[in-house]
Amino acid sequence: MKYLLAIIMMAAATAAGPTFAGEAESVALYYHETVGIPEAERIKQAERAADFDGAKIIGGAAAPVGTYPFLVGLVITLTSGAMSVCGSSMLSNTRALTAAHCWWDGRNQARQFQLVFGSARLFSGGTRVTTSSVQVHSGYSPTNLNNDVAMISFGSVPYSNVIQPVALPSGALLNSNLAGSWVQAAGYGKTSDAGGILQSQFQSHVSLQVITNAACSQSFGGIIISSTLCTNGATSSGPVGTCGGDSGGPLVVTSNGQRVLIGVTSFGSSRGCQIGLPSGFARVTSFLSWIQARL
């Protein structure tokens, strides 16, 4: 798959925000108004328009329900009354991890999350729980997306074959920067900058390779810090990475036969997801103590 359905803030350059360091790429800010709100409407209308047909997804590899049982969709009600969408990762039957910008993007404040478990669709099916209990990391900055993590608390959801928590890093993963590792991101969303949400929209996934933060900073400059994790944006077969659809969704690595959460989808270039630049994530190992204290 070339462009993941996970959510990331891919908006037009006109909506981009400042350039942070010299000629460095700027990241797209104000997620809800540039991506989340229009994508929510597209997804909703597409789901109303046609029966699901996962075989017709464009530019990607469909991931049937249960492939990523820890992937939790977020249908977001903003304080303005508008609707937006994000993704998250189930950590326990009462906790999920998402991006802080899904709750507050610097301009738009969420009032409520509806968590969607075990469903191919965001607006129908699955197990659904509503909550307003969200704790944003105290170091989160909406102007550069540093420390872009938030913990969601919700009423207990029973596990099933399509609803399961994801493992957190342990052992050797705790001290690895993972550079060179092949990892997977998953979510709902669009598969190109120009494309919208399709009538056949479905969970999808993409394999990416982790790059060093030094390599990532060549694109994004000073916003890349130790708690950032980046993946490659270009391959011999074309650009790859996360795209507009579900910010806050999971990035996982397989270790000892188990998928382990290593990243929370956070940012990309303001110029879009098809230009071959890296995708940025909050590095889970950097926030492990913060996460575990809230489980």
Express each pLDDT in 232-287 by its tens digit: 987 766 666 666 556 899 999 999 999 999 999 999 877 766 677 899 999 999 99
Q: Using CA atoms, how far apart are residues 31 and 106, in angstroms rounded to an integer?
A: 9
Mean pLDDT highest for which of 7-21, 25-39, 53-67, 273-287? 273-287
Q: Taking a C-beta distance cutoff of 8 angstroms, is the pair 168, 292 a contact?
A: yes
Note whether 25 and 270 are within 8 A (CB).
yes
How many CB atoms lie under 10 A from the CB of residue 75? 20
Catalytic annotation, residues? 101, 148, 247
Q: Are the C-beta atoms of 40 and 237 separated by less than 8 Å?
A: no
Give the global pTM. Answer: 0.84
**271-292 burial, b if ≥16 CB within 10 A, otherwise e?**
bbbbeebbbbbbbbbbbeeebe
